[in-house]
Structure 1
Amino acid sequence: METDMENKKTNPKKKQGKSLTKRIIGWLHLWLGLVSGIIVLTVTLSGTVFVFCDEIIDLCGGSAKYVQVPANTKKMTPEELLTQFHQQVPDRKAFYFDTYKDADRSFRVASATKPPKDKNADKAEKPKKKERGPRGVFAYHYLDPYTGKVMGSTKSYEFFYVVAHIHAQLLAGKFGKTVVGIASIIFFIQLIGGLILWWPKKWNKTTRTTAFKIKSGTKWRRKNYDFHNVFGFYSLLPAVFITITGLIMAYKVLTNLTQQTFGGAVDAHSIAEKYEPKFDPEKKALSYTDFVEKKFKEFPEAKQFRMSIPRNDSATVYHVGIAQFIGLKSLVNGKSIETNKYTGNEIDYPKEVQMHEIIEHMNFDLHVGYWGGMFGKIFTFVIGIICTSLPITGFLIWWGRRNKSPKKNKEIKNIHQHRKDSHHEQLV
């Protein structure tokens, strides 16, 4: 017995640390996180803010969303209201409008500032390569549907347009989209690597407590460590799901694969053109008023109607939405419809084209939390907050370890060694 103890003392077993696999994953987790941290933070934060865009836009509309209903007075037609809008706000061009079934709701116009007029437009110059002009600043204007008076406006539309483009491409076009795509792939790898690092070597009461609970009464460094690991685990599956749906939108190869898998047409837009009516100058298009009345009759439960204003007279397809509520990118209990401008009827696209639209909208709704109403938004918002915090808490873990006092580390090691030696001496 004594000899055995002496042998153990002179030839102690090596301390069992992390496996080689976990050390490699830990190294990758650290440096991939440091490299992509700022991008991931920007993308997740902007995406989280966008979740409640509809509620914030409505809040910004304030009292202008409602009007006093005059007695024995009919609402003006959309055509009349749009004319009134352009007369009162001549520097803007409307591109869609919202009208409501409720008598006390105002008429809403989405518009953009007109691009500045080219001073040399009338001069004889050599034709230049066609360039895309500025898009203008987006805004919503609210009009009294009985008088046509502009009651208020909000540029919250512009704010969320910018937020969405920060999220998708960092406001840097194709290059930004590529950077976001790479950062999203890295974040996906980080999530999987984080799960492997989180997974305890052995499951017992202590490891279960450490893995699933935040220890109380600890200093900020330990608290930060627990936040990173515990909340990171709880948000893992939805975070992976949100990342995958984002990658599907970011990469065409994944978009096409998703469409093919679920029965959608990859070249849906080119197929759709074959089924759309041809422009006929002798045919008269239905008025906006006709469209409003027709769709409210077809969908009696709907409360809101939206129509995109065609850019030119040669357009033969009008995009309309009819639902209980239509937001910036959401539609509740209703339908988005491509209609024939001469008849007002929905265009009968083949099944694979219809599936393309269904899959595209469903993927977007899953990504931003519109799948479950208010619950889905709150759930996605909370996951977004956690994902936004992961680069921060991860950086603080690295920074804290990097700046630990060498003297303190040596003292801790000496204490552990002293306890180990004392334990062996007691056994001897």
Structure 2
Amino acid sequence: MENKKTNPKKKQGKSLTKRITGWLHLWLGLVSGIIVLTVTLSGTVFVFCDEIIDWCGGSAKYVQAPVNTKKMSPEELLIQFQKQVPDRRAFYFDTYKEADRSFRIASATKPPKDKNKEKEAKPKGKGRGPRGTFAYHYLDPYTGKVIGSTKSYEFFYVIAHIHAQLLAGKFGKTVVGVASIIFFIQLIGGLILWWPKKWNKTTRTTAFKIKSGTKWRRKNYDFHNVFGFYSLLPAVFITITGLIMAYKVLTDLTQQAFGGVADAHTIAEKYEPEFDPDKKALSFTEFIDRNFKEIPDAKQIRMSIPRNDSSTVYNVVAAKFIGLKSITKGKSREVNKYTGDEIKYPKEVLMHEVIEHMNFDLHVGYWGGMFGKIFTFVIGVICTSLPVTGFLIWWGRRNKSPKKTKEIKNIHQHRKDTQHEQMA
């Protein structure tokens, strides 16, 4: 008995796999933490862009519809918009089936005209550049008067580019791509570290539940550990769909795997009508009437406005609801501007668009309506918190007082000695 007491069985330490994983998990997290936090936070905010843009529109989304009065044509409304806001260029508009809905125009500020065009084409300031600053303007469809505007479009454009490239072009895109790969490795490493050595009642409780009545350091550890596990699979899925968009090689492999084609846009150009100066394009009204008839459930139509007369294809979207990057119960089509007919692209070109949109919808949560958005938003909040809670765990351990550390070690040693005595 004394021999067992004086030579207690030593507790096995962490396996080599867990030690290596723990080291990588720590240092990869410290290196990429601020980038991951920025990317996940911006992506989480973007999830509800449609709802926020709609809210920003406020009362300007609606008008008092006069009795027995027709709406002005899109061409007339665009002319009125240009008169009232001459410094902006419209690039698409939204019109609605309801009589009391206003006419919405998406536009960008025009680059200043100057002899020194190269110098003026690059104005300083956030959100500025050759493309200009984006905004939505709401017009009364019966009078053509601008009744409201919002730069929420610009806000989410900036948010999307923070998410994709940190507003730093190709270099930023590379940094985000590398950070996303690290985050993927972190998720797998986190699962290895989370996995208990033995499964029993105590380890199950620790692994799946946050212990109540504990101090903030233990609470923070539990948040990182438990919520990290629950969000693992969807976080991995979101990361993979993001990497597919970030890296062309993954984009091309995905297209080929699901029946699409990598160079879809080049192939598509061969099937588009040639410009003919003697032919007259159909009016926007004709396109709108035709699409409302062909898609009975449609309440909103969005039409692109070509930059020049030589463009022969219009993008027309007709759906129950059309958001910044989402379509609900509808369809997006490329149509011949002379006939209004949909361009007959090859199957693989059409599949390219389906795969591209599906991957985006899976990434941002548009796959399941409001439920999908809420689910993705919650996962985004958890992923955003992981670099913070992980840093606090490391900081807490690094700055733990020697006295407290010694006390904890004595408590653990006392528990081990008591267990060995009971076994003896």
Map of 2:186 onto structure 1: 190
Give the Å deviation of 1:408.
Answer: 1.5
Give the Å deviation of 1:14.
Answer: 2.6
Map of 2:150 onto structure 1: 154
| Cα distance in 2, alignment partners of residues 389 and 103 from structure 1 | 45
In the alignment, structure 1 residue 17 sits paired with structure 2 residue 9: no
Map of 1:87 onto structure 2: 83
| Cα distance in 2, alignment partners of residues 89 and 427 from structure 1 | 85
Which residues of structure 2 form unaligned runs of 5+?
Answer: 124-128
Give the Å deviation of 1:419.
Answer: 4.7
Q: Which of 132, 137, 142 is matched with 2:138 structurally?
A: 142
Map of 2:126 onto structure 1: none
Map of 1:340 onto structure 2: 336
Give the Å deviation of 1:385.
Answer: 0.3
Give the Å deviation of 1:425.
Answer: 6.1
Map of 1:395 onto structure 2: 391
Q: 1:200 to 1:418 in 2, by over 3 A?
A: closer
Q: 1:277 to 1:16 in 2, by over 3 A?
A: same
Give the Å deviation of 1:341.
Answer: 0.6
Map of 2:225 onto structure 1: 229
Q: Which of 206, 209, 224 is matched with 1:210 structurally?
A: 206
Say whether the 8 Å CA contact 2:122–2:130 is kept in structure 1: no
| Cα distance in 1, alignment partners of residues 423 and 42 from structure 2 | 60
342-351 or 410-419, larger mean C-alpha shift: 410-419
| Cα distance in 2, alignment partners of residues 190 and 420 from structure 1 | 33
Q: Which of 159, 165, 188 is matched with 1:163 structurally?
A: 159
Map of 2:67 onto structure 1: 71
Question: What is the SS of the residue equivalent to 1:96?
Answer: strand
| Cα distance in 1, alignment partners of residues 28 and 236 from structure 2 | 17
The TM-score, its normalising length taken from structure 2, stands at 0.95
Question: What is the SS of the residue equivalent to 1:68?
Answer: coil
Question: Structure 2 matches for 1:13-412, cutoff 5 A?
Answer: 13-120=9-116, 134-412=130-408
| Cα distance in 1, alignment partners of residues 148 and 422 from structure 2 | 83
Letter in structure 2 aligned against 1:144: D
Map of 1:124 onto structure 2: none
| Cα distance in 2, alignment partners of residues 217 and 239 from structure 1 | 29
| Cα distance in 1, alignment partners of residues 197 and 361 from structure 2 | 38
Give the Å deviation of 1:289.
Answer: 1.1
| Cα distance in 2, alignment partners of residues 131 and 48 from structure 1 | 30
| Cα distance in 2, alignment partners of residues 425 and 255 from structure 1 | 62
- Which protein shows a greater Rg? 1
Q: 1:313 to 1:213 in 2, by over 3 A?
A: same
What are the Cα deviations for residues 348-390 of structure 1, in whole angstroms up to 9, with x where unaligned? 0000000000000000000000000000000000000000000
Say whether the 8 Å CA contact 2:8–2:420 is kept in structure 1: no
Q: 1:413 to 1:356 in 2, by over 3 A?
A: same
What are the Cα deviations for residues 31-89 of structure 1, in whole angstroms up to 9, with x where unaligned? 10010000000000000000000000000000000000111211000000000000000
Letter in structure 2 aligned against 1:8: K
Question: What is the SS of the residue equivalent to 1:99?
Answer: strand
| Cα distance in 1, alignment partners of residues 79 and 122 from structure 2 | 29
Aligned CA RMSD, in angstroms, stands at: 1.7
44-53 or 285-294, larger mean C-alpha shift: 285-294
| Cα distance in 2, alignment partners of residues 345 and 424 from structure 1 | 83
What are the Cα deviations for residues 129-154 of structure 1, in whole angstroms up to 9, with x where unaligned? x9996110000000000000000000
| Cα distance in 1, alignment partners of residues 280 and 422 from structure 2 | 101
| Cα distance in 1, alignment partners of residues 5 and 58 from structure 2 | 77
| Cα distance in 2, alignment partners of residues 410 and 131 from structure 1 | 61
Q: 1:305 to 1:194 in 2, by over 3 A?
A: same
Which residues of structure 1 form unaligned runs of 5+?
Answer: 122-126
| Cα distance in 1, alignment partners of residues 413 and 374 from structure 2 | 50
Q: 1:80 to 1:420 in 2, by over 3 A?
A: closer
What are the Cα deviations for residues 79-124 of structure 1, in whole angstroms up to 9, with x where unaligned? 0000000000001010000000000000000000010112346xxx
| Cα distance in 1, alignment partners of residues 247 and 274 from structure 2 | 33
Identity fraction in percent: 86
Give the Å deviation of 1:193.
Answer: 0.5
| Cα distance in 2, alignment partners of residues 134 and 281 from structure 1 | 29
Q: How many residues align?
A: 418
245-254 or 418-427, larger mean C-alpha shift: 418-427
Say whether the 8 Å CA contact 2:134–2:151 is kept in structure 1: yes
Say whether the 8 Å CA contact 2:241–2:363 is kept in structure 1: yes
Q: 1:322 to 1:196 in 2, by over 3 A?
A: same
Q: 1:282 to 1:251 in 2, by over 3 A?
A: same
Letter in structure 1 aligned against 2:381: I
Give the Å deviation of 1:10.
Answer: 4.3
